[in-house]
């Protein structure tokens, strides 16, 4: 059994945080200020029982907009974190159960095409019982933005040329935190990947137990490069015996890195469809839709990875303690997750047992994929 050539990027989760993804600081998007300015939020209500702290990574943006992250720390147990913003900010309004040391949520500021600077208010609140603490920031976007290039019409990706036949795996293989299928390709041959699955129902331990987690996603370049990965999916965690799940995307590249960004909440049993696709050289789109509710998120980001592999993965996330050390979260019992409607460059991929990978640690298999079919495959816990 052969392991991956590099360990997959760790999911960063602050101990006690509600969600396993999106808790890391996101660097500014292209054209945003290079230096990160952390601004302490004003407190709008006096502290009574809880004393959370809130910071925002950026409050000033160029005309093309960009991404910011709000971080909440020193949170009460069993709290509720809420976020909202004006219509000039996308993928931001949300409420999540939260508690512990750190929780983070990201928003994208839209480009400003007006001849004057635009300003928007971003709000966050933390509620614990009858006590609510509120925070607010005013963010500005410079004037006279140029219209961004439009993405080509039609389905994402395109059929690969004949030279893009899969290279063939060396498996079945094992990983400390991945289970699913990994398809290695010649460089430049992975231009899109997609799949549909149901958000798993986790077997959550009773309240007071240590957190357990799970993530499912599609992406490219996860095993062929130490510095590139483009992916989107769902992360789930059990908090005080209750499952909390949300969608996310990630754009990792050597300069600048962009860790996971949370999008919108989903529920166990919801059907989601996710894809990543190149829309032009150096520009990729991630799209994820909860077809059970109709909620969807899509963004085009700069990405310069080699396009040399595609992945459909069930993952054991990681957590970060107060000292900054990263370790794997105990993997939640997710039952069986079936990835269907698999696509690679707009067509069904041809998978084989040699492309399969299982989660195994200390000789114990924690999750493994079943054989591939014409439509997809399943991953089973245990």
Q: How many Å apart are CA 66 and CA 206, to the nearest integer? A: 40
Quickly list DSSP for 92-133: --EEEEEEEEEEEEEEEEPP--SSS-EEEEEEEEEEETTEEE
* Contact in structure between 112 and 65 (CB atoms under 8 Å): yes
pLDDT value for 270: 97
pLDDT value for 319: 73
Closest to 150 (Cα-Cα) out of 10, 280, 45, 331: 280
* Contact in structure between 317 and 213 (CB atoms under 8 Å): yes
Domain spans of the chain? 39-141, 158-381
| Count of C-beta atoms within a 10 Å radius of residue 206 | 8
* CB neighbour list of residue 164: distance below 8 Å, 6 or more residues apart: 185, 186, 188, 189, 345
Task: Indicate the length of the chain as a whole number.
Answer: 382
Closest to 194 (Cα-Cα) out of 285, 281, 256, 326: 285
pLDDT value for 291: 97
* Contact in structure between 21 and 264 (CB atoms under 8 Å): no
126-to-55, 67, 325 alpha-carbon distances in Å: 13, 22, 26
Burial tier of 45 (Cβ tally within 10 Å: 0-12, 13-18, 19+): exposed
| Count of C-beta atoms within a 10 Å radius of residue 255 | 7
Please name every residue paired with 85 in a beta bridge, in sequence order, or none if there are none.
122
pLDDT along the chain (382 residues), means of 10: 35 30 28 33 41 84 78 80 81 74 73 80 84 88 58 50 66 88 89 97 93 94 76 94 93 59 92 96 92 93 86 88 75 97 94 93 94 94 94
CATH 2.60.40.10 fits 39-141, yes or no: yes
pLDDT value for 152: 47
**Secondary element (H or E) of residue 290:** strand 283-290
Number of H helices, E strands in the chain: 0, 26
Rounded to 5 degrees, φ, ψ at 163 are -75, 0
Burial tier of 1 (Cβ tally within 10 Å: 0-12, 13-18, 19+): exposed
Using a cut of 0.75, tell me whether the model's pTM lies above it: no
Q: What is the CATH number of domain 158-381?
A: 2.60.120.700
pLDDT value for 33: 31
Q: How many Å apart are CA 199 and CA 233, to the nearest integer? A: 10
Closest to 379 (Cα-Cα) out of 343, 336, 349: 336
372-to-171, 317, 349 alpha-carbon distances in Å: 14, 24, 10
């Amino acid at each position: 059994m052969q392991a991956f050539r590099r360990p997959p990027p760790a999911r960063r989760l602050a101990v006690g945080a509600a969600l396993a993804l999106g808790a890391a600081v996101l660097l500014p998007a292209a054209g945003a200020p290079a230096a990160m300015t952390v601004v302490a939020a004003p407190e709008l209500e006096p502290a009574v029982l809880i004393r959370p702290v809130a910071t925002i990574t950026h409050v000033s943006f160029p005309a093309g907009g960009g991404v910011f992250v709000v971080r909440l720390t020193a949170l009460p147990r069993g709290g509720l974190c809420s976020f909202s913003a004006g219509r000039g900010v996308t993928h931001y309004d949300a409420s999540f159960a939260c508690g512990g040391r750190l929780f983070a949520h990201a928003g994208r500021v839209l480009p400003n095409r007006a001849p004057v600077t635009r300003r928007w208010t971003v709000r966050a609140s933390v509620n614990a019982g009858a006590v609510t603490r509120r925070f607010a920031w005013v963010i500005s976007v410079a004037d006279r933005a140029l219209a961004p290039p439009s993405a080509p019409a039609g389905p994402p990706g395109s059929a690969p040329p004949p030279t893009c036949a899969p290279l063939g795996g060396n498996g079945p293989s094992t990983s400390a935190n991945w289970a699913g299928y990994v398809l290695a390709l010649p460089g430049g041959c992975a231009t899109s990947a997609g799949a549909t699955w149901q958000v798993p129902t986790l077997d959550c331990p009773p309240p007071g137990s240590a957190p357990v987690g799970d993530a499912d996603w599609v992406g490219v370049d996860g095993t062929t490069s130490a510095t590139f990965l483009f992916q989107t999916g769902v992360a789930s965690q059990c908090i005080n015996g209750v499952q909390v799940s949300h969608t996310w995307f990630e754009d990792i590249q050597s300069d600048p890195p962009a860790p996971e960004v949370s999008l919108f909440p989903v529920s166990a049993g919801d059907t989601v469809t996710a894809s990543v696709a190149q829309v032009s050289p150096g520009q990729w789109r991630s799209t994820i839709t909860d077809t059970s509710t109709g909620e969807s998120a899509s963004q085009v980001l700069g990405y310069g990875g080699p396009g040399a592999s595609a992945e459909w993965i069930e993952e054991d996330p990681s957590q970060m303690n107060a000292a900054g050390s990263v370790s794997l979260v105990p993997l939640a019992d997710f039952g069986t997750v079936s990835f269907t409607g698999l696509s690679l460059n707009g067509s069904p991929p041809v998978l084989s047992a040699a492309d399969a990978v299982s989660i195994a640690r200390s000789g114990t298999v924690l999750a493994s994929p079943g054989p591939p079919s014409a439509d997809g495959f399943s991953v089973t816990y245990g």
